[in-house]
Amino acid sequence: MPRANLSTHFILSAVCPDNKSKIEYIDTNLEGFFVEVHRSGTKTFYQRYIDGHHRQRQMKIGRANVLTLADARKRAIQIKADVFLGKDPKQPKNELRKIPTLKEFVVERYLPYVQQNKRSWKTDETVIRLHLLPAMGKFYLDEITAQMVVKMMTDMRAEGYANGTCNRPVIFLRYMLNLASDWGIPNLERNPAKKVQLFEETQRQRFLSPFEMRALMNALKSDENVQAAKAIELLLLTGARRNEITQARWEHMNLEQNTMLVPLSKSGKPRTISLNKAACYLISRLPSRAESPWLFPSPTTGRPSPALYYPWARVRKRAGLTDLRLHDLRHSYASNLVNGGVSLYVVQQLLGHTNPGTTQRYAHLEQGTLAKAAEVAAETLKSAVDKR
């Protein structure tokens, strides 16, 4: 390899011999600094050095048609200084190569992880696919900014999504970026989604009045899908979650002890549902007992119906309760308990809430019950006084 006193004039006039595809001209003034000249005429500055493992390495500085010779020398000197101080000059570039786009991270790292560790991973996949990836999937993780996150939220709200729906992608993004940082992906010291203010969500609490309950029961009794109607009635009688009823199996029923086992609840643990007499009577009269392992098999597939969407839409329309969600039956069950004087602690156990704070949403109902109880005490005292 020829050596030369690299100068601006030399760089401009340097050519590659016809019998070679490229040639290196090594600088006589700065050790390891050289320019590589290709037959095509391309000229590139490099710096060679010995790394911490005593291996000879070289680092590309840049094209001669972009960098001046003086700038290339400054960068070469900086590379030699980094090596002398024990740093790896290539570390910044290597770290940048380790940073995936959001889409790459979701597909290659996040979804495989949550599929093994999160029962509701399909919800994650849906929210990410519909909202996060269209908004910022092409950007590298360290390019994502708080402004991008806010824009995604405001765009979603402009499209008519509820505040809670707009907040979900942000919550998932926070979690994903925290995982990426924990897994050693560089340049993620700050989570841009962390301090983004979420939209205020109104906790919906819809309870059935006695009149509405009668209308619902009448609609259930007249519905053509008897299996689905019985499943919905059982939801109202037990306060169970939809999947706990639609996926119920006969082997988990113990009608002698008035219990139903849920092998895997929302918390990831088994739980036992206490059955009242009306629920036990309904279950005991189901025709599927001798025909299927499921309480509510589909008449067409024999498998349980996962959503009850169409029967529920038909029933609530017939009952004149078009704003009623299936999950509101669980709220109504809880409100009936609290209004009947049952303590929040017992309600928590019956609903299978692992967090007492979740049951606190019914605390205002308990206050009404307590107020009635206090009036009973006053009336008792008044009655005693009047008899004197």
| Residues designated catalytic | 241, 266, 327, 330, 353, 362
- The identity of residue 29, as a single letter, is N
Q: Are strands 22-27 and 3-4 parallel, antiparallel or unpaired?
A: parallel
Question: What residues have CB less than 8 Å from 78, skipping those under 6 apart?
Answer: 89
Q: Exposed, middle or buried, 315 (CB in 10 Å: 0-12/13-18/19+)?
A: buried
Helix 309-318 crosses helix 210-221 at what angle (to 10 degrees)? 120
What is the rounded CA–CA span in Å between residue 179 and residue 110? 8
Residue 167 and residue 164: Cα distance in Å, rounded? 5
Q: What share of the chain is helix, strand, coil (3-state, %, to 5)?
A: 55, 10, 35
Please state the separation of Cα 307 from the chain's center in Å. 21
Burial (0-12, 13-18, 19+ Cβ within 10 Å), 58: middle
178-183, Cβ contacts within 8 angstroms, sequence gap of 24 or more: 179/109, 179/110, 179/113, 180/105, 180/109, 180/141, 183/109
∠81-84-89 over CA atoms, to 5°?
60
